[in-house]
Amino acid sequence: MSSDRDEFGAFLVGFIVGGLTGAVVSLLFAPQSGEETRALIRDKSIELRDRAAESAEEALARAEAAATEARSRAEELAKQARSRAEDFAREVRARGEGALDAVRKSAAKKPGGESGAA
């Protein structure tokens, strides 16, 4: 998630710098008075600021959606892990009880309960 933020930050900086550079170059080579040029620079900077704000809002919305999806997926995976652990515990318990029953039956079949004492 951190690299997504870094990439978006780099994109945003590049977008703003590129936009400002293009606006300044086009205004410097345009045949207009100083006042008209300042007004155009002001208007372009407001437009770029608005675009940057929209881009940031969109990126935030995408990040929130990704976080919500990741949280939902993590909850689902945790639920599956709990279910598998419960199934495994039941299986181990059943096998243990089966083995214990087999030992009991085997001990019951031995005549005199051979204890190994002479």
- List, for residues 64-101, the tens digit of each pLDDT value: 898 899 999 999 999 999 999 999 999 999 988 888 88
> What is residue 4's predicted lDDT score, i.e. its pLDDT?
67
Question: 116 lies in a domain?
Answer: no
Query: Do residues 16 and 52 touch, judged by C-beta distance below 8 A?
Result: yes
The Cα–Cα gap between 56 and 9 comes to 9
Query: Taking all residues of the chain, what is their mean pLDDT, rounded to a whole number?
Result: 81
Burial 72-81 (b: 16+ CB within 10 A, else e): eeeeeeeeee
Question: 80 lies in a domain?
Answer: yes
Question: 115 lies in a domain?
Answer: no
89 lies in which domain range? 2-107
Higher pLDDT among residues 50 and 1, named by residue: 50
**What pTM did the predictor assign?**
0.43
Query: Do residues 12 and 52 touch, judged by C-beta distance below 8 A?
Result: yes
Q: pLDDT of 17-31, one tens digit each? A: 887 788 777 767 766
Q: Which of 15, 22, 23, 26 is nearest to 42 (CA)?
A: 23
Domain count, the chain: 1
Question: 112 lies in a domain?
Answer: no
User: For residue 32, what pLDDT band results from cuts at 50, 70 and 90?
Assistant: low
